[in-house]
Amino acid sequence: MGTIDEPDPLFDFTGKVALVTGGSRGLGLQMALALAQRGADVAIASRKLEACEEAAKRIEAMGRRSLAFAAHCGRWDEVEDLFEAVIDTFGRIDILINNAGMGPLLPSHDVSEALYDSVLNLNLKGPFRLAALAARHMAEGEGGSIINISSIASLSPLPAVIPYSAAKAGLNAMTIGLAREYAPKVRVNAICAGPFLTDIAKAWTEEARETAENALGRNGNPDEIVTSALYLASPASSFTTGAILRVDGGAS
């Protein structure tokens, strides 16, 4: 075990390279910063380059290397470009966090084909392609950990977010399948996130921000997902793969 002056070796990511999609804000940013604080070099990807660059500067200020890369993580070709950029820059990927996603609230009969495709692409198609590329790379090298950020909506689908719920359910299935396909060197797990007070919460009512229908009666703060991500990314979870971990405050 580590001491105050010596980090616990189970959570020392020195020499590791992490890629976090949707890493410029919200849950993704919190996970990216936590990995960097513990020694990892971190690549940040999202659609807005300026936001990625701001996050990268915070990581570099810790003495780590970082890469800011603008990519729509629901598009197959852009995901491939992202993967190649990380390999070209760092030579490896040890940790992938598939965090980019969206879940617009809309009655199902009003969902257009274009919106349906967009939701499925960002929450399932892009993560699949990126995870497959990373898993092959890891399996051919020193191994690694892939973490897919899912949602409690995948387990208990909610009205008016059916495409999102379906996509995240597919992400859960993908997690289990990839865990089996690329074992034993690559571990693949998912975090089923509940409601968190990220940027999206600004559009909620005051009541929705202050309470939640779960055992704890509240929403999560973004940093409360960090410990679960660190666990799944680290050797502390060496016997954990294909798991769907709920971090939802005890949702029913």
Active site residues: 164
Distance CA 62, CA 59 (A): 5
Task: Tell me the torsion sign for CA atoms 35, 36, 41, 46.
Answer: positive
Residue 118 vs residues 20, 101, 114, 240: alpha-carbon distances, Å: 20, 10, 6, 31
Instruction: Calculate the CA 101 to chain-centre distance.
Output: 9
**If DSSP codes are grouped into helix, strand and coil, which group holds residue 44?**
strand
**Taking the CB of residue 45, how many other CB atoms lie within 10 A of it?**
30
Amino acid at 25: R
Task: Please name which of 124, 210, 127 lies closest in space to residue 170, comparing C-alpha atoms.
Answer: 124
Instruction: Calculate the CA 228 to chain-centre distance.
Output: 11
Distance CA 91, CA 75 (A): 23
